[in-house]
Each structure stands twice: as structure tokens, then as C-alpha cells.
Structure 1
């Protein structure tokens, strides 16, 4: 995973149309591309406005409306993970869409917790159960999660993610819409944490370990 650069998008929840959400995502994607990021993770239900609701979700958007994000993934050679509703067992539930340079249309998954990513971004495994109880494949090098939580739930969530990182010796990247997006290294040590605001939190893995940065979105 040498010289691998990743990013988490952070911004306050928005109430707007799907087309405007897509345009907003593209601004973050372009900023991440300008910093040579290969992976960008958005908060929970980002294409719905970063809501933290789990029920009464609308139907998933038509895949054609998401093509600008697929095009951006191909153009910038970037894997993008965004949040949206998906249909599962005749219900609309929280899920993610994965846009990657090697696929023409997004892959969608119902999920509750996040995704494990293997080296070179060629393998993604979505985690739907409590991640603490999963069998971790040693090929995975990063666990990503998109959230939209505030205190006091945020403190409990970040503590759980830090323990998870240490337990499985895996780096963890969290994109949280309401602030405190963060990156932990494989030992559970905090590398970088954001305050509030519209920004990119970035992490770069080199032979010397992880380094992090905060980039305001202007």
C-alpha cells in the first residue's frame, strides 16, 4: 500500500435535489483528484443529504442520474464510495454505491457499517454485521465508514472504530458529515481528525507510515 493516498469528504447535511447532490459530490471529487487521491469516501446517505435516519427512506435514484460520478471515477482513476438508499427485502434501507475506474456502472450494497478494501483497491468487501465480530481477511488494508452522527453518539462511534483498528491491525477511515472525520493507523493510533466544516481529510500511506492533512473546500 506504499504511497497510497485516500480522503474522506466532510460537510454539514444538505437539503437539496439529487442533481445538486451529485454536483456537490463532483466538487469534492475534483478537489481530491487535485491532491492525487485514489479513494474518496463520503458520509452516510450523502446522495440523500447526509441524513442519519434509518427508516422511511425514499427509493434509490435511477442509475443514469449517477453517471457523472461514474465518469469522474474513470476520469480521475479514483474509487468513490457514496451513500444512498438501496432496496433490500422489499424495503429501502441505508446503503452505499461504489464507483471505480474499472467498472462502468456503480456497484450498490445494503450495509450498516462500512467496507473493507484490499490493496490496490481491486477488492471491496461490504460489512453489514457488527464489524467487531467479523473474520478479517489479512488481504484487507483499510476499513472505511461513512457516518452522519453528532454527540454523544459520535464519541461512542469513534471509540469503537479505534478499538476495531487496533484489534484487527487495519487502518480505519471515517467520513462523518457532522464533524470529527478521522483516520487511524493499523495500531489504532489517531493520525488526523477534523473539526467541523466543509473539508477533505486526507491520509497518505508511505513506507514510513501514515500521514494526514486537512484541506478546506473553497
Structure 2
């Protein structure tokens, strides 16, 4: 089994501030590269914040040039980054909750949230999912928040051969215990590592609890953030053994 280093980018989002959030994401990608991270996963709607109508108004086509600073940096530093962004696909007026795959090789992949949380249908349309990723032989399936509350979603990932299930989320204290039990259960049931990247604080009126986690293929907790804030939650597999660490991310002032 090859080595693999993955990380959850537990980030704070500036409400509706796309340029500001791009700058913050760049700092996460730089920190991840310093830690040898190959796959970096951000929370749901990380580039706009979970801001409802305001986020939907910022929806872009995935190829939009506004993302070029992030795409260029990911390629330069050799980090595949999954960023949260409202998107509109060509020929459609509907906004989708997207997770864009900024490949270390310069490629661009698109995943869109399939299962909406109650109330999201007022602003967003259900998405179409997306293909699995291959990170040096490891097969990664993506999820965005409420996707993982449907057992069929994780089962489909396992059926596609995924050995890592990576979810960008927004989870408050109220839902944290239930949601982490679900995700940990998928690791055990499907023998795949599970990564959960949560927001680092308040967004869209929701107080995220942070505490991003990564579990191993047998459901054992590898590493978890101790609370909120801008943190990189890193897990490294070497010869089948996982080790984890939490790294603070310092933003420019």
C-alpha cells in the first residue's frame, strides 16, 4: 500500500467575500504543501460562506477565471484541493452547491451536491454528484454535507471502489454527535477511510462546531480538531498505518 497524506481544511469563511476567501484558501494550500498533503478538502461553500441567497448570487461556471489563482497554486505546489463554491453549469440558470476539484496536474473536476438540506431547495437545485478521484492509486469519493446522511450515497461510493470518502460539511454542535456516528459507521461498514472537513466558525447564521475529523478504514479515529478556528487536520498513511496531527493555519493580516 502506497503512502498517502490527506487533510481537512477547517477554514473560516468571510461572508460573500470571494476575493478574501480565495486569499485565505491560498494560505491553506501553502500550509498543506508544507505538510506534504496530496489531497486537501475544504468545507461546504467554503469560498462564499454558507450564505443562502447571497452565495447563490455569486455562483460561477466551474471554468471561471476567478478561480485561476487557486488552480495555479494547487498545480504549482502539487496539492489537489477540493473547494466549496456555488456553481452554474453551462446552459442552466439553476445554482448548485459545488465541490470543485482543483487538480495537482492542473485539471478541473466538478462535483455537485445531490441531496439538499431542508430549506436549501429555496435557493439551490439538487446536483448530479461526480466521478471518483484517483490520488496515486487511492480512489476518493466526494460528498457535500447532507449527501452523507443518505446511506445509499456512501454505499454507492464503496461500490465504485472508493477507499476514501471525503465530505465537506457544515455541522453545528447540535448535529455533531449524530453526524460523526454516521460517518464513523461508514468507515467500519465499507472499509474506507472517512474525512470530514467542517467550517471553523460562524457562517450564514450557523455556528459551526469545527472539530473536523478523519477516521481509518476500521472506524478508528485518526485525528480530530480540538474545536473551532483555522486548522489543518492531517492524516498520513505509511505502510498501512495512519498517524494524524493538527496544524494551525496563520492568515495574512
1:201 aligns with 2:233: yes
Q: Match for residue 122 of structure 2?
A: none
Report which of the two has the higher share of strand.
1
Partner-residue secondary structure (3-state), 2:21? helix
Q: Deviations over 1:107-161 (max 9, x none)?
A: 2221247885445168654458555223323632211011122121222211110
**In 1: Cα distance, 2:43 partner to 2:137 partner:** 19
Deviation of 1:186 (Å): 0.2
Q: Deviations over 1:195-214 (max 9, x none)?
A: 22211000001114111100
Q: Match for residue 100 of structure 1?
A: 103
Q: Deviations over 1:78-135 (max 9, x none)?
A: 110000112366421211110002234x322212478854451686544585552233
**TM-score normalised to the size of structure 1?**
0.87
Alignment check: 8 A CA contact 1:117 1:143 kept: no
Q: Mind listing any 5+ residue stretches in structure 2 that lack a counterpart?
A: 116-128, 200-207
1:182 aligns with 2:213: yes
Q: Match for residue 71 of structure 1?
A: 72
Q: Match for residue 191 of structure 1?
A: 222
What does residue range 1-218 of structure 1 map to in structure 2 within 5 Å?
A: 1-49=1-49, 51=50, 53=52, 57-61=56-60, 63-87=64-88, 90-104=93-107, 106-112=108-114, 117-120=133-136, 125-127=141-143, 132-133=151-152, 134-135=155-156, 136-137=158-159, 139-177=161-199, 178=208, 179-194=210-225, 195-218=227-250
Range with greater deviation from structure 2 (36-45 or 140-149):
140-149
CA RMSD of aligned residues (A): 2.6
**In 1: Cα distance, 2:11 partner to 2:240 partner:** 30
Distance 1:53 1:149, change over 3 A: farther
Alignment check: 8 A CA contact 2:167 2:195 kept: yes
Partner-residue secondary structure (3-state), 1:48? coil
**In 1: Cα distance, 2:135 partner to 2:31 partner:** 23
Aligned length: 216
**TM-score normalised to the size of structure 2?**
0.76
Distance 1:186 1:97, change over 3 A: same
**In 1: Cα distance, 2:137 partner to 2:110 partner:** 16
Partner-residue secondary structure (3-state), 2:105? coil
Range with greater deviation from structure 2 (9-18 or 33-42):
9-18
**In 1: Cα distance, 2:249 partner to 2:142 partner:** 28
Partner-residue secondary structure (3-state), 1:140? coil
Q: Mind listing any 5+ residue stretches in structure 1 that lack a counterpart?
A: none
Distance 1:75 1:175, change over 3 A: same
